[in-house]
Amino acid sequence: MDQINLVETFSEFKDFKNIDRETMMRILEDVFLHMLDKQYGTADNFEIIVNIDKGDLEIWRMREIVEDGEVEDENLQIAYSEAIKIEPDFELGEEVSEEIKLKDFGRREILTIRQNLIAKIQEYEKDNVYKKYKDKIGEIVTGEVYQIWKKEILVLDDDYIELILPKSEQIPSDYYRKGDTIRAVVSKVDMHNNSPQIILSRTSPVFLERLFEQEVPEVYDGLITIKNIVRVPGERAKIAVESYDDRIDPVGACVGMKGSRIHGIVRELKNENIDVINFTSNSSLFIQRALSPAKIININIDEATRRAEVYMKPDQVSLAIGKGGFNIKLAGKLTGYEIDVYRDTDIDADDDVDIGEFSDEIQEWILDELKAIGCDTAKSVLNLQVDDLVKRTDLEEETILEVVRILKAEFE
């Protein structure tokens, strides 16, 4: 092999798509210099010439011409009698440039070079991918579903880089097939077993924030600031927004005309219910807005313990709690307060209360058992003996006693 054609001899190079040709040639040069240093003791007097267009590589060694019999290092010096065989006009002290052929290295050395080249390029690729995605943390990326496993999905981006979407980072109602397009935010990039591991997320609040930046120009331009986001992925989210420009309605801008802007986000999040709330430094007002759509009558705040006691009419309690308790839980996270909801104590003791209003304190299946025997109100339950309630329902005595305690507290 008088010269090496990189395209033919190192056929694996065509598989490396994330490395430019110039960088690849530079790696080639480094690998050959390392090999020369190992074989000759030094590579300082060698020059590697790489032809980027043709993919050929030439190796030239420079040696000083010395008197015959005075050669101390054959790698650095050449005897005068040998030098004039190359070029008759050479004189003592001049430098001889001589091409080293690959065939001079031997088969084993060439195979070693080949393996080192591939290893170096793979290492460069991995490092390149790591740096690229490390800078993309917090950004939305789009990819194609390539493989679906029980605990995660393998996604390929446009450059066929492997991305991982764990089950824990998927919205519960997410369902994908191979070939589907997927959007997610880059949440974490690590080196695992010397390879970059890129983790995506669709449950992160950052994903929702980036979606708002894409859909709402005022958010992207910084005219509207997102102060906080809390989510129960696939169920409900609350986002507090603020604008320093009095001419801009932050909530209206985020929702859009007839919900045009927020609808796209809701669809992307599999119909997640999104509450957009005007941020305020007034804690009482902020809590009131966070509990929307429930209407509050009164609120007591203890700043020391970060607790808030909220009073409202009985028919508003279930709205404040929300389905699965998500509304009050997210309101607490958004405002930073532990929120306790109480029914308005001004209710007339003679008034009765529908037992459905106690869904925040009594489990739904227990209420269904009571309704099945005709007990639709609190007093209709309290008017029966505990033993009678145990006989007529499938509830245990301990459960009945707890229900009675809760209902009695309503009228005390």
Q: Which DSSP symbol is given to 94? A: -
Q: Which residue has tokens 């309690």?
A: 317
Q: Which residue has tokens 């300082």?
A: 44
Predicted TM-score of the model (pTM): 0.66
What confidence score (pLDDT) does residue 207 get? 96
- Alpha carbon distance 203, 183 (integer Å): 11
What confidence score (pLDDT) does residue 6 get? 46
What confidence score (pLDDT) does residue 345 get? 54
Question: Is the Cβ–Cβ distance between 120 and 31 less than 8 Å?
Answer: yes
Query: Which of helix, strand or coil describes residue 275?
Result: strand
Query: Which of helix, strand or coil describes residue 54?
Result: coil
Q: How far is CA 373 from the centre of its chain?
A: 51
- Alpha carbon distance 199, 75 (integer Å): 51
Q: What is the CB neighbour count within 10 angstroms for residue 240? A: 23
What confidence score (pLDDT) does residue 2 get? 41
- The two three-digit tokens of residue 227, written as one number: 């102060």
**Closest Cα partner for 182 from 206, 147, 131?**
147
Question: Is the Cβ–Cβ distance between 81 and 68 less than 8 Å?
Answer: yes
* DSSP-derived secondary structure for 372-398: HTT--BHHHHHTS-HHHHHHHSS--HH
Q: Which DSSP symbol is given to 101? A: P
What confidence score (pLDDT) does residue 5 get? 44
Give me the residues of the chain with pLDDT under 50, please.
Answer: 1-11, 14, 347-349
What confidence score (pLDDT) does residue 54 get? 60
